Amino acid sequence: MTNNEKNTAAIVHLSTLSQYIIPFGNYIFPTIIWSAKKDDSEFINQTGKNVLNFQLSIFLYSVLLLIIAVPLLIFTILKNKNFELFFDGNHNFEFLQHQQSSGLIISLIIAVFLIVLLKVTEFILIVKGALIASEGQLYRYPLSLNFIK
């Protein structure tokens, strides 16, 4: 395996960090690099698949988190609301008293914590993958689903 292959594989991993600068950069740049180099090296081909599978898995986990968090948040806000007052034109939100809003605050803290944990873990695993790829070893991301085989 050449140094060029190792460097290209590491760049495929690191290119996903472009998501912090360019929207969807974590899909666009690895796909471009992988598509351009996948026929040149099986190592780069597998690396590209692993990177894209991980990014798609992170997206899926984020969507699942939102599917759980948003209804929970809405339920927490609306569970003590008197809808007769709401439909009469009284649209104040004084119903969120301290004891009633504690569930909302806890839900928000948990959701934010899980999102931050997911993104920090993603960042660490990307850097780890790049370091391992630069040594010429194939890195398989944990909890990554195989969308691209």
Q: Give tens-digit pLDDT for 36-81.
A: 999 999 999 999 999 999 999 999 999 998 888 888 777 777 776 6
Structure confidence at residue 8 as a pLDDT band (50, 70, 90): very high
SS3 at position 134: helix
Greater confidence (10 vs 85) lies with 10
pTM over 0.85: no
Q: How confident is the model at residue 121 (pLDDT cuts 50, 70, 90)?
A: very high
pLDDT at 142: 95
Token pair of 16 as six digits:
């996903």
Write the Ramachandran bin of 138: left for phi over 0, alpha for psi from -120 to 50, otherwise beta. Answer: beta
Instruction: Give residue 1's pLDDT.
Output: 86
The owner of tokens 């698949």 is 49
Question: pLDDT tens digits, residue range 77-114?
Answer: 777 665 555 555 555 555 555 555 676 778 778 888 98
d(CA 9, CA 18): 16
pLDDT at 65: 87
User: pLDDT value at position 83?
Assistant: 55
pLDDT at position 97 is: 54
Alpha-carbon span 48 to 33, nearest angstrom? 8
> Rg of the chain over CA atoms, in angstroms?
22
Is the pLDDT reported for residue 149 higher than 90? no
Tell me the mean pLDDT in the region 119-135.
97
